[in-house]
Structures are given as structure tokens and as C-alpha cells.
Structure 1
Amino acid sequence: MDNNQILEKAKKWLSSTFDTATQKEIQDLIDNNPEQLTDRFYKDTEFGTGGMRGVMGAGTNRINKYTLGRATQGLANYLNKVISDKEISVAIAYDCRHNSKEFGKMVADVLSANNIKVYLFDDLRPTPELSFAVRHLNCDAGIVLTASHNPPEYNGYKVYWSDGGQIVPPQDGEIINEVNSLDFSEIKFDANEDLIQTVGKEVDDVFVKGSVVNGTLSNSIDRSKLKIVFTSLHGTSIMSVPDTLAEAGYTDVHIVEEQRKPDGNFPTVKSPNPEEPAALKMATDLADKIGADIVIGTDPDCDRLGVAVRDTDGNMKLMNGNQTMAVMTDALIQKWKNEGRINGKQFVGSTIVSTELVNRIAASYGVDTKVGLTGFKWIAKMIRDYKDLEFIGGGEESFGYMVGDFVRDKDAVTATLLACEVAALAKQNGGSFYESLLDIYVKNNYYKEHLISIVKKGMDGAAQIQQMLSDMRNNPLTTIDGEQIESLCDYQSSIKKNLITGEETVIDLPKSNVLIYQTKNGTRIAARPSGTEPKIKFYFSVNTPLDTTSNAKKVESELDAKIQRIIKEMNL
């Protein structure tokens, strides 16, 4: 899109369709800031792996009442087109971010103006509770206003279908077609208040009870002995996690008070992302002060969690998402085994960029692993697709986990409880959460993963990201750290190519701009653009046998060195 096209697109926002404040903001950009104008209009906000997400402000490439209103009008048109035999209903929740509450009400207004019944939460709630509420309230769809762990200037919008999972094909494409066919002037903003019903505690109570039922491992655990530090990082989890832990029987829970209050500025952290050790520093400092066993922090909408536990030297160590996923999956399958529920008709869910350790763990119990594209919408789709199988749990490397199927998205409420259950049970048996992980490594190989995210903002950045992937696709690597590459999976062309024999096989997954190199020894490099941020991500995975837990530090050091050699070799 050239500068003249961008200017013409922007001028449409000076019409009476848009409010005075929006018109003024756009006119100021036209007059004074052409570079910013370009960034706001060179594309439209799109649905990615986590829905629609972006910086707030006026423009088509921003989150505002018009881009969200248009998305909602498109959804309403779609729902009214495909459902004609009953009253249509949609549940709406929102997080702690700036404008989330106002956006939530605006979305409710648009839906009600289209004769759709709305269940709107009375205050901020965790994203997993919205997923739960869709099915609990027998809704046809759900919407949550959130930008997950992104910086304060972001907001976003995720759409759920009647099964409580995020929209997937064909619904997503059909809804997007409806949205793209709309002019902003067609948005119906005038609410029918009679169709908007407020919900709150009555849903909370059932959700918490469900979290406890699904997240507990055994009735014989002494939960009073586990000392927990929890931080909500100024987010929504404060509405549910403390109540869930208390309901399960945990009494020694210490909340980081400075981060208790929901606040869209996230004033005590640089980034409200529990993947980053700095975000949990207040919590780990408190843990060291009081001698806690485990630290858990959740992101603003409470769908992902960071878990820090004491290593063999007694130091707090932040687990990565692959590690917590491995421990949780092992614990859940063991629970099912103890209850006599493993009969070959169960499965766990994972994603193409997550650790293959989970696959090995599941196979050791005779349980299948279904592997999908990045994003929990694909794990939720597995539950829908494999109705003859029972879903035990599933996760992905980005610090998300789903316990059972009562929530159909990553769920930091139930996963927080499960992490505490693992720690409490291990402590009761003379071990620890971390030692449980080392035991898994001894049984299945020591897997070490690492992630690098390279930020490339704006239109030029998007082009650079595409060029990097194009180079990797058209000029493939042949070796990694001296190991011959055996296969290259190109999820955009749906082809897995054996680089040694030249044999090609079809990948039976939806197309996605992801490349994965793998050697015979199981060393992997994956590359993909983020679906929600201006980044390209590189995932590294290496593994080797571990004979005893006493050698874990040495083996980890060797694997870390291997990863660093690969990164250097790739000039990243």
C-alpha cells in the first residue's frame, strides 16, 4: 500500500461515522505525523493465534471502538445467519487493561443491538472463566477483552465458539469474511439493554469448584505443609486463584501485596509476563524471605503461569513452560493410572513448537499425544475432533496448560492448583517439584529448550520477518552443530522433506508460516512469526540421556553450551 492509498484510507475516518475525538486524532496525524499515520493504516487488525490484538488508538491497525465494533458486528451477522431456531446468546468478560471494561460494554451494546442475548460479567474476570462460562451458560459464543501479557498500551479481543474453545476453521474464516465485508458505518452501537444480563458470583462459585475437582491429584495430600507465594501481577487472577487454593485446602498462601490490585499500568514490572524472571522478582524475594516452597505468578488475563521452585541447592529457579508442562502431564497421567482410568482411549495435547519430552512421557504410559499448531484453540479443537477419546490435559511452551476439558483454553487457575498439588505431594514424599522434573529426565532424557524473540516493528519489520523465513525456506540449513539435518517441516506448504533421501510427505495440519528443522538425534530448530506481536520467534530444543539426578547440572551445562553454539552458528 503506497502513501496515497494510506492517506485516502485515513481520510475516511474524518467522516461523521466516527466521533469527534477520533476525527481530531486522525487529522492531527495527517497534518503532523505521516510516519505514525502509515503505521496505523497500512493494514487492518487481524485474527491471529490469540485473536485480535494490538496497540490502542485510532486507525484500522489499532484497537478501538470501531475496529472492535466492526469485529463484533461481523460476529453478530454471522451468528444471526447460522442460528435461526433459537435465541442467540454470547458471554463477555474483560481484564484489567485500560478501556477493557468500556470495550466490554460496547461489545455487549453491539450484540444486543443485533437482537443477541448477552451475559456480561460485572467486573474483570480471568480468561479461563469466560471459556468455562460459555458452556456453563449454554452460549453460542464468547468474547474476552484482553491483550494477555502484552505491554500496557495494548488491548485485544478473543472470540470463542459454543464449545468454549477459541474459533477455528471454518468459523474463523467465515466470521472474518463477514467482518471484512462491513463498512464502519454499518456498526449498530445502540444497545437493547433488555438483552444485557450481568453475571458474577453465581458463575464464579461453579468455576472455582470445577477448578478444584479437576486440579487436585489426591485426597491424601497434606496441603497445610506447602508454603506458597502467589502474585497476580496486577491482573485478573486475584479474582479466582486465592479462592481456588483455599477451597482445595491450602492455608499457607502468601500474596505479593504490592501486586495484588488490578492495574492496567502494571506499575511494579517492566512486563507483566510470567515467562520473564524479572516479573516474578518480588515474589521470589518474598519466597526467600519466608522460606516458601513454590512461587506462582500469572499474566494479566490469567491464562498463563510462571512457576518457580527450589532447585537441589535450595535456590529459587523459574521453570520454563516446557518443564512445567512435562511435570504436570506426568502427574495427571499418573493420577489417571492410579484411578484405573488408562485404557488406551486417552490422549494429551501439545503443539509443534513445544517439547517432545511430553510425547515421550505420554507414550511411556501408553497414552497418545496429539500435536497441533501453536495456540490453545487447536488443543480445544482436538477435544471436539476426537470425541471417542478422553482428554487428560495439554499445554504449550508459552507457559500455558489446560487440565481436563471443563475449560477449553489455557487456564492458569486450575494449573496453579495442579502445580501446588505436585509440589505438596512431592514434599510429603520427601522430594520436591524440581526433583520430580529430574526424575522425568532420567526416565525420558534430559530435554533443554530455549527461545529467542526478535522484535521487528511496523511495515518494514513485517517485511524483514517474512524475508528471514523465506531465506530459511529457500536456502535450508544442512547441519546444526555438526549434526546432519534429517528433516525440514514446512507448515506453510504442508510438506515434510527428508533432506537426506529427498522423500516428501504431507503434513496433515492447517497451513501456518512455521519451519522446523530436526536432526536424527532430536535436535530441533523452529521458526515462526508471532501471531500477536511484531516478533519472529526461534525455538531450540536439544536432549541427551541422564543416568542419575546427581549428574543433572553437568548435563544441563553441556546442553546449554550446545544451544549457544547453534545460536552463534545461525548469527542470531
Structure 2
Amino acid sequence: MLEYAERIQYRIRYYPRERLIENWKNGKGNMQKVDSKLQEKIDEWLEWDKNEGTTQEIKSLCASGNYEKLSDILLNRLEFGTAGLRGRMGAGYAQMNDLVIIQTTQGFTSYLEEVTKQSPAAMNSVVIGYDSRHNSKRFAQLAANILIRRNVQVYLFSQICPTPFVPFAILHFKCAAGIMVTASHNPKDDNGYKVYWSNGAQIISPHDKNIQKHILNNLCPWENSWDTSILQSSPLMKDPLREVWDAYYSRIQDDILFANLNANTSVKFTYTPLHGVGYPYMLQAFNTANFKPFIVVEEQKEPDPEFPTVKFPNPEEGKSALNLSFTTAEAHGSIIIIANDPDADRVAVAEKSSSGLIFRGDAWHVFTGNELGALLGWWSLFCFRKRFPETDMKDVYMMASTVSSKFLRSMANVEGYNFVETLTGFKWMGNKADQLIAEGKHVIFAFEEAIGFMFGTAVLDKDGISAGIRVAEMVAYLQSNQLTLADKLNDLYTKYGHHISKNSYFICHKPEIMKKIFERLRNFQDAPGTYPGSLLQGKYQVIGVRDLTTGYDSSQPDKKALLPTSKSSQMLTFTFKNGLVATLRTSGTEPKLKYYTELCASPTEQNIEVLKDTLEDMIKGIIEEFLQPEVNGLIPRQ
């Protein structure tokens, strides 16, 4: 006699016309038909998947009759976009797992073959890296196996590496593309698959859409796609770690201007990789720049995919992610904290207050991404002029995303370099930098408010290792002139104008609610095509609206936005008469509705407290009138 679960599986596998599965209701067994599309996907998964864990997960859901969950994970699919793939790990096409990685890499490989038909030599090699998350190495090996079996040279890192090492290696080896397996700062249950093109920048359209099409045309696993044994012996497999390591740190050393000062600084630095990949890489960066070793947060030093000491492994969260760093720094008399996110492409910085305020109260200032963008933008220009004093500023460029501070633009108006604003994401800044390089321009710095920074063009992406060492050298230089980071930031605001910003988000797990919020703002007070004209009963007037979902921009003569638009994402920017710029957007990788605000004042407007009060007043109004969190059930950031 077959056991209950076995009987269910027997009927599913051998009686496809019947398509029955047990559904328990009110404690009674009630046989109910399974949707034919779902049954087809169940059969398909059990045929294609060779991972015992995810296969058993599907079987268990079948045995328990949980077709709601089965429908969610089998009838939906993670869509390949400009961020590649990112999602929760688990069984099904809507999650990250071995089979989805195989299908994705088959589509990616097929697309590479198509674009290089006219020039086969162009598809010479692909770089693959991975972080320290669960399954990252496994996913990287599966991807390498598929490429090698199609006669593509693969540079697969032999150990975990920072994300920026992949775009750096693409340019170093002149590769066709690169893959980084990482979910960056996401929770521990997530993973991702990020793709770079031959220019070393993250892919943008049409590559993302074309890869998605090729994935859907190559869903059935190819012969030997599951067999990774070839990685042990194939001449097409190479470990790039040592060569990339040497070349990367050689580039860092070339940019160091104050090696003697670095060696003699009295500043003590504290560093945390937040259980990620960063420790050995930042250690080498400090050594290359001639610094004494930093103090490491021991509890977070080693890679750990469980991230046991932090609720969210994201230094962008500020003090909640840096508590152990504060404790370590206080114990060692350190005044500067540098933190990387788990894949080391972002960097956070905190500075001990000289006022001696209470520890964990106001004793530490965690700089926002916009504040660091101002400081590092100034430092980039300062260093560039020291190295290349004869360069005409008309050929020098800095960039920031549209949701980031406009400080670099204000500084450009005084210093004469060019400022470029791009869409959100380093994919846009990296590709724009590549275009400017081809025109013979000098791109010296780019940043995004989400603590992402790009120095020069050795890496056309955010790089938390190079950014960390630039911060350290800037701190040492300022200390030699009896200045702190806070002192210098105040000096910059005095010279170029205060730029007061505050960014945050709400959690929303229902895409239809987020869409409803934005549609209401596009049809305000039930008037189609009308946006809010003021805030707080006319207290603050709106003078400009840009909608990068529809392509509308009230500030342009033809009312058409200059930046690229996307109907698949929500993004609205309001410009107010008093200088506030507020952007509302949905996240592409997380269930977040984000808001970004900045009040830009002229250098003559020096009453910082008045500016702060105005900003807080307007943010409160934007939340209450535009987002309506209580009406829409939005969950505030903790």
C-alpha cells in the first residue's frame, strides 16, 4: 500500500489527464482539479531540476496541496532586467536556484553567440565572480560550466571577491562580458546574478531585454548543463585572482598622492566588512597606500552568509548596522569608521565627534551618501588638479544620479568642470563614463546617494574598496591640517551653498498599491494629467514636475523628459519654488517606495537651522499628502 504522499505523487506523475491533488478543507479531504498550466509546470520542474533540495521542496508542496505557493513560484518567473536577477533563494522559476541559474546562463550564452556571429573572436572570454552568500559559489560554477561547454574562455575567481573586481577584470582581460553572483546588501535569503558588458559597465537596454528573450528560448537544460566536472580539467578555465589582484592594487598605488603623510598619520581607523568579502581586500588597500593596519571589528571580520550580528547587512542603514563598529572604535580610541557592504561595492563612513558627546547618542556622525559625495567630489578634484595641473576643466567630468545631491553641480558652476546627471543606478553612470572616455574626456568621479562611489575609470561601477582608501587618505590629509571631515564639509557648504538632504523609504509588498499611489499623483484631485501644484495648503509651491514613467517634464519646452523613461518603474520628481527637489520612486530590487529630498541653498543662505526646519516641514507634508502611508498601509522604515 502506497503512503499518502506517495499516492499523491503517483497520481500527479502517472495520471496527467486526471490532474488531481489533495486539498484539505475544514479537516476533510476534498479532491480538487489542479490548473493544467500549473500541473504542466510541476511536471516540467520535476523533469528538469537535478537539485535534491529544490526538487524535494516542490514535491512537499505537491503532497501538502499548497497550490497557491506552487502557483506563485512556478507560474511566475524572475525577469532579467538591468540589474540582472535578484530574489529569494528557493525552488521555482520565481526564485533563485540551480535551474534558474542554468536557464539564465543558457540565455546569456545564446545571446553572446548571436551578437558575435559576425566576429566570433569578439566572444573570447567571460569573467565570473561570486560573494560569500549561500549558493553563490555553486551558481558561479554552474554558469562557468555552461559557457565552457560552448567553447568560451572563462575567468572564474577561485575565491570570493568584491563585485568591482569583475568589471575591472573585464577591462583588464578585454572580455566580452562578466557575471557577478551577489545580492549585495540584501537579506541573507536572497541572491543575485549581475551582468556586465565588454565596456566594463552594467548592461543596459537592449542587452537586458535581448537576454530575457534568449532565456525564454533556452529553458530546457542543455546536455551536460548540470555536469560541472569539466571545471576541474578544462583548458578554457582560468583563475584570474592573482593577476587581477596585482593590477588592481597597482592602479590604486598610482593614485596615492600622500604616501608619507599616510604612513605618519595619527588617525586610527576602524573597519568592518559586515560579514562579507571585504576584509583581505581592504587590508591590502591600506598596505598599498602606506597606512598602518586598521582595527577590524572581529565579530564581523570573517565571511558569514548568515550575517549573525546585523538585522540588515547594509551600512546604508547607518547606526543600526554599525553598533559593533562603534563599540570597537571606542575601545581602541579610533575616530574614523569605514564599512563595506557584503560584496564591497559600497562604503559607509562615521566620524567621532570632537565635542565629547555621549557614546551612541551624538558621539558619532554617520555621513549620508550625499555628504560623502560632496567630500569625495571635492577630494577627487583636489587630487586631479595636483596630478594634472594643466588640464582644461572643460574636458573634466563628474556625475551623480538624479536622486542624489546636486552639490557637484553647484561646485561645477564655480570650478568650471562639467556635471552630468543620469538615471538612478551605476549602470547609467558607467555607460555614460564609457561614452565620455571615447570622446577623450576625463571622468574623475561619480556617485549615488546610496553610498556608491566611482573614482576615475579603472572600474566603471561603484567600488567600495577604492572609495574606502580614498576616504582614508582624505582623512589623513585633513588631519594634517587640523581639520575633521565635518569641518571640511561645513567649509564646502559655506563656499558652494548648503545642500541639506534626507532620504528614506516605506515598505510596500503590494505592487498594485504602489502603482495606485503614483497614478493618484498623475491625476491629482481626480483631474487627468494634473499633478500637485503645491504642498501644505499652498505653503510651498511646485514649479516643476518630471515624470520618468510617462516621459513628461514640465520644465522642457516640448514637455518631454530629457532622461530615458521606463513604463515598468515609477519615478516622479517635484521641484519647489524654495529650492527643494523631491523624488519619489519604487525600488527595482526590493519592496520599497523611496523618497529623496534635498534643499539647495545659495552660499549667502547660512542659517542651517532654518533650512533644516523647512526641510522637515516639507518632508512631513510630502509623506502625508503625496504618499498617505496610513491610507495605503505603508510600513515605515525601522
- Helix, strand or coil at the partner of 1:301: coil
Match of 1:286 in 2: 328
Give the alignment partner of residue 230 of structure 1, picking from 261, 267, 271.
Answer: 271
Give the alignment partner of residue 362 of structure 1, picking from 397, 412, 435.
Answer: 412
Native 8 Å contact 2:315 2:347 kept in 1:
yes
- 1:561 Cα offset (Å): 4.6
Match of 2:120 in 1: 85
Read off the aligned partner of 2:519 and give its amino acid letter: S
State how far apart, in whole Å, the 2-side matches of 1:484 and 1:356 are. Answer: 20
Give the alignment partner of residue 420 of structure 1, picking from 472, 478, 486.
Answer: 472
- 1:320 Cα offset (Å): 0.9
Deviation larger for 145-154 or 359-368: 359-368
Deviation larger for 258-267 or 512-521: 512-521
1:309 is the counterpart of 2:351: yes
Match of 1:486 in 2: 543
Native 8 Å contact 2:252 2:285 kept in 1:
yes
Native 8 Å contact 2:268 2:335 kept in 1:
yes
Q: C-alpha offsets along residues 413-458 of structure 1, whole Å, 9 cap, x if unaligned?
A: 000011112211111111111111111111222222222322223x
- 1:182 Cα offset (Å): 2.1
State how far apart, in whole Å, the 1-side matches of 2:592 and 2:74 are. Answer: 19
Q: 1:49 to 1:517 in 2, by over 3 A?
A: farther
Native 8 Å contact 2:350 2:364 kept in 1:
yes
Aligned-pair identity in percent equals 31
1:397 is the counterpart of 2:432: no
State how far apart, in whole Å, the 1-side matches of 2:617 and 2:426 are. Answer: 31
Match of 1:258 in 2: 299
Native 8 Å contact 1:164 1:407 kept in 2:
yes
Q: 1:42 to 1:137 in 2, by over 3 A?
A: same
Q: C-alpha offsets along residues 243-275 of structure 1, whole Å, 9 cap, x if unaligned?
A: 101110111511111110000001111111001
- Helix, strand or coil at the partner of 2:261: coil
Q: 1:304 to 1:101 in 2, by over 3 A?
A: same
- Helix, strand or coil at the partner of 1:250: coil
Read off the aligned partner of 1:72 and give its amino acid letter: T
Q: 1:125 to 1:415 in 2, by over 3 A?
A: same
State how far apart, in whole Å, the 1-side matches of 2:147 and 2:210 are. Answer: 18
Match of 1:246 in 2: 287
State how far apart, in whole Å, the 2-side matches of 1:486 and 1:142 are. Answer: 43
Native 8 Å contact 1:6 1:38 kept in 2:
no
1:273 is the counterpart of 2:286: no
Larger radius of gyration: 2
Read off the aligned partner of 2:300 and give its amino acid letter: Q
Give matches, 1:184-199, under 5 Å.
184-186=220-222, 188-191=225-228, 192-193=230-231, 194=234, 195-199=236-240
Give the alignment partner of residue 207 of structure 2, picking from 153, 167, 171.
Answer: 171
TM-score, normalised to structure 1's length? 0.93
Deviation larger for 23-32 or 290-299: 23-32
- Helix, strand or coil at the partner of 2:578: coil
1:59 is the counterpart of 2:116: no
- Helix, strand or coil at the partner of 1:77: helix
Read off the aligned partner of 2:588 and give its amino acid letter: G
State how far apart, in whole Å, the 1-side matches of 2:96 and 2:478 are. Answer: 45
Q: C-alpha offsets along residues 375-394 of structure 1, whole Å, 9 cap, x if unaligned?
A: 11111111222222211110
Native 8 Å contact 1:226 1:252 kept in 2:
no
Q: 1:309 to 1:546 in 2, by over 3 A?
A: farther
Read off the aligned partner of 1:392 and give its amino acid letter: I
Read off the aligned partner of 1:306 and give its amino acid letter: A
Match of 1:507 in 2: 562
Match of 2:20 in 1: none
Give the alignment partner of residue 162 of structure 1, picking from 190, 198, 201.
Answer: 198
Native 8 Å contact 2:186 2:313 kept in 1:
yes
Q: 1:217 to 1:433 in 2, by over 3 A?
A: farther
Give the alignment partner of residue 539 of structure 1, picking from 592, 596, 603.
Answer: 596
State how far apart, in whole Å, the 1-side matches of 2:621 and 2:592 are. Answer: 22
Q: 1:326 to 1:8 in 2, by over 3 A?
A: farther
Q: 1:546 to 1:280 in 2, by over 3 A?
A: farther
Native 8 Å contact 1:361 1:444 kept in 2:
yes
Q: C-alpha offsets along residues 130-174 of structure 1, whole Å, 9 cap, x if unaligned?
A: 111111122111101000000000000001111111111222222
Read off the aligned partner of 1:153 and give its amino acid letter: D
Q: 1:183 to 1:364 in 2, by over 3 A?
A: same
Read off the aligned partner of 1:462 and give its amino acid letter: P
Q: C-alpha offsets along residues 214-264 of structure 1, whole Å, 9 cap, x if unaligned?
A: 4x3545634432210000101011131111011101115111111100000
Give the alignment partner of residue 514 of structure 2, picking from 442, 448, 465.
Answer: 465
State how far apart, in whole Å, the 2-side matches of 1:547 and 1:444 are. Answer: 9
1:326 is the counterpart of 2:383: no
State how far apart, in whole Å, the 1-side matches of 2:261 and 2:608 are. Answer: 28
Q: Runs of 5+ in structure 1 lacking a partner?
A: none
State how far apart, in whole Å, the 1-side matches of 2:532 and 2:142 are. Answer: 50
Q: C-alpha offsets along residues 307-366 of structure 1, whole Å, 9 cap, x if unaligned?
A: 111346352110111111111011111222333134311111111111112211233211
- Helix, strand or coil at the partner of 2:202: coil
- 1:399 Cα offset (Å): 0.8
State how far apart, in whole Å, the 1-side matches of 2:329 and 2:74 are. Answer: 47
Q: Runs of 5+ in structure 2 lacking a partner?
A: 1-33, 357-362, 525-530, 630-638
State how far apart, in whole Å, the 2-side matches of 1:150 and 1:441 are. Answer: 33
Deviation larger for 185-194 or 425-434: 185-194
- Helix, strand or coil at the partner of 1:47: coil
- Helix, strand or coil at the partner of 2:570: coil
TM-score, normalised to structure 2's length? 0.83
State how far apart, in whole Å, the 2-side matches of 1:220 and 1:364 are. Answer: 31
- Helix, strand or coil at the partner of 1:295: strand
Give the alignment partner of residue 337 of structure 2, picking from 277, 285, 295.
Answer: 295
Match of 2:502 in 1: 450
- 1:4 Cα offset (Å): 3.6
Deviation larger for 442-451 or 64-73: 442-451
Task: Report the number of matched residues.
Answer: 563
Native 8 Å contact 2:162 2:345 kept in 1:
yes
Native 8 Å contact 2:102 2:221 kept in 1:
no
Read off the aligned partner of 2:619 and give its amino acid letter: I
State how far apart, in whole Å, the 2-side matches of 1:36 and 1:71 are. Answer: 22
- 1:103 Cα offset (Å): 1.0
- Helix, strand or coil at the partner of 1:127: coil
Match of 1:18 in 2: 49
Give matches, 1:98-117, under 5 Å.
98-117=134-153
Give the alignment partner of residue 50 of structure 1, picking from 83, 87, 99.
Answer: 83
Q: CA RMSD in A?
A: 2.3
Native 8 Å contact 1:322 1:354 kept in 2:
yes
- Helix, strand or coil at the partner of 2:575: strand
Native 8 Å contact 1:113 1:189 kept in 2:
no
Native 8 Å contact 2:283 2:293 kept in 1:
no
- Helix, strand or coil at the partner of 2:554: strand
Match of 1:563 in 2: 619
1:135 is the counterpart of 2:171: yes
Native 8 Å contact 1:383 1:391 kept in 2:
yes
Q: C-alpha offsets along residues 164-202 of structure 1, whole Å, 9 cap, x if unaligned?
A: 111112222222221122223347334543122223223
Q: C-alpha offsets along residues 536-564 of structure 1, whole Å, 9 cap, x if unaligned?
A: 21222223356698x65665455345433
Match of 2:29 in 1: none
State how far apart, in whole Å, the 1-side matches of 2:480 and 2:354 are. Answer: 17
Give the alignment partner of residue 29 of structure 1, picking from 47, 61, 78.
Answer: 61
Q: 1:547 to 1:282 in 2, by over 3 A?
A: farther
Give the alignment partner of residue 401 of structure 2, picking from 338, 351, 359.
Answer: 351
Give matches, 1:196-235, under 5 Å.
196-214=237-255, 216-219=256-259, 221-223=261-263, 224-235=265-276
1:410 is the counterpart of 2:462: yes
- 1:408 Cα offset (Å): 1.1
Native 8 Å contact 1:491 1:507 kept in 2:
no
Native 8 Å contact 2:132 2:305 kept in 1:
yes
Native 8 Å contact 1:473 1:515 kept in 2:
no
Q: 1:344 to 1:80 in 2, by over 3 A?
A: same
